[in-house]
Structure 1
Amino acid sequence: MKTTQEELATQIDEAQWDWLRAHLERGGLICVAADLDIAAVGERIAADDAASVQTWIETRKLTKPTAEQIAAWDGDQTVRFTTLIISPYVLIQEKLHG
């Protein structure tokens, strides 16, 4: 069955960094640029849309967390993330403070 963007939008959640650390350690975290809709990205990944995903990777819209990001998140217990699980990955977008 095809997963739609609308279905995925209902699965978006919020998480704190320490809840996501285990996914980082197994290599499953993917950072989604703030200007992308996380549900739309999830739908394209679930659909195996290699062209869209490759474009986002090449333009740094989809990345693995950097050492600098990890260090910052480890040091800030207030940071929160918008999350979406697209097995085996967890898509994350850092939420702005405020």
Structure 2
Amino acid sequence: MADTDLRAELTENLDEAEWEWLIPHAQRDALILVAVGLDILDVGVAIAGDNVSQVETWVDEALITKPSVTQIGEWNTQGAKQFKTLIVQPYVLIQEKAAA
């Protein structure tokens, strides 16, 4: 599948979710936190398209990470915290939304 088709397909899956809806995914260690400032669609396309070198660069630069225990603890106290979300099986990409 071409990147443009993949990006179009992933754009349809872009959504927003409250933290409490994401907890089951956190429990199965499926969340990937995307740094604010990085395009969550770019990350989704790279992961779904198996662009290993790009994904490794982001990991090395700590731009995509697994949420830390500290972060999860903080989010658990803010149940209504909002995230941008993008499902790229088997992962759920999440990106913190700025407080309104």
TM interval, shorter chain, is over 0.9
2:24 corresponds to which of 13, 22, 25:
22
CA distance in 1, matches of 2:38, 2:6: 16
Alignment-derived partner of residue 61 in structure 1: 63
* Offset at residue 74 of structure 1 (A): 0.3
Q: Percent of aligned positions with the same letter in both sequences?
A: 45
Q: Which amino acid aligns with 1:32?
A: V
Structure 2 unaligned spans of 5+: none
1:5 corresponds to which of 7, 16, 29:
7
Relative to its length, the structure with more helix (as a share) is: 2
* Offset at residue 40 of structure 1 (A): 1.1
Alignment-derived partner of residue 46 in structure 1: 48
Structure 1 unaligned spans of 5+: none
1:76 aligns with 2:78: yes
Alpha carbon RMSD of aligned pairs, Å? 1.1
- TM-score scaled by structure 1? 0.94
**For 1:15, what is the secondary structure of its paired residue?**
strand
Moved over 6 A (4+): none
The number of aligned residues is 98
